[in-house]
Amino acid sequence: MELCGFSIQQKLTVEVVDELKHPCGLPVVGYFDSVEFRVKVASPDQCRQLLLAEAALANADFDAVYGSIIVHEVVHAALWSQLQNSEHEPIPAMATEYVAYAFQVMSLPEPDRDSLLAAFPRATPKDLGPFNYTALQISPLLFATNAYKHLMSVDNRCHFLKEIISGKVEFDDWYEYE
């Protein structure tokens, strides 16, 4: 992200906690708290428990997957920081999830990334239709692999990321499903 001119403008704290729940009460592996400007990541034990059901990650190096969770949440912090230092309106949550998941997959070592991509052998999305709340809830890993493949298919990724931040690239938003 730094290569594209994105940076975090304030001190970001990354904290590992024994048990992590999203504000809605569900257990999660990571969470970015914009109020405290803090990334919270579940303990390795909780992450292992939550990721056991993910067959696509069964053979992946756990430390690499754990690191990718931190990357995902730090990307949320970087996007939030970028938006705070701009005159743009907030962008839809799906846009931030798209970027965070794409970078999360990108951060994996190549063998683990290739294994994950092979678990979801679908064509690269041609548009942003697959990046919606329903798709994210049904299969976060499919959403992640689609985001990675789509972003990698874009000719000028930095320009595309800047277009996302500016709101020129349109994604679905949560309110459409309430």
pLDDT (tens digit per residue) in 131-140: 988 899 899 9
pLDDT, one tens digit per residue, over 154-163 is 999 999 999 9
Query: In the chain, what are the domain boundaries?
Result: 54-177
Q: Which helix (H) or strand (E) holds 14?
A: strand 13-17
Residue 30 binned pLDDT confidence (cut-offs 50, 70, 90): very high
Residue 5 binned pLDDT confidence (cut-offs 50, 70, 90): confident
Residue 53 binned pLDDT confidence (cut-offs 50, 70, 90): confident
167 vs 62: which has the higher pLDDT? 62
Share of the chain above pLDDT 90, in %: 65
**Sign of dihedral through CA atoms 133, 134, 138, 142?**
negative
Geometric angle at alpha carbon 106, from 38 and 23, rounded to 5° = 30
How do strand 38-42 and strand 30-33 relate by DSSP bridges? antiparallel
Report the half-sphere exposure of 156 (CA within 13 A, side-chain side): 5
Residue listed under structure tokens 């919606």: 132
Residue listed under structure tokens 């931040």: 165
Residue 178 binned pLDDT confidence (cut-offs 50, 70, 90): very low
**What type of residue sits at position 47?**
C
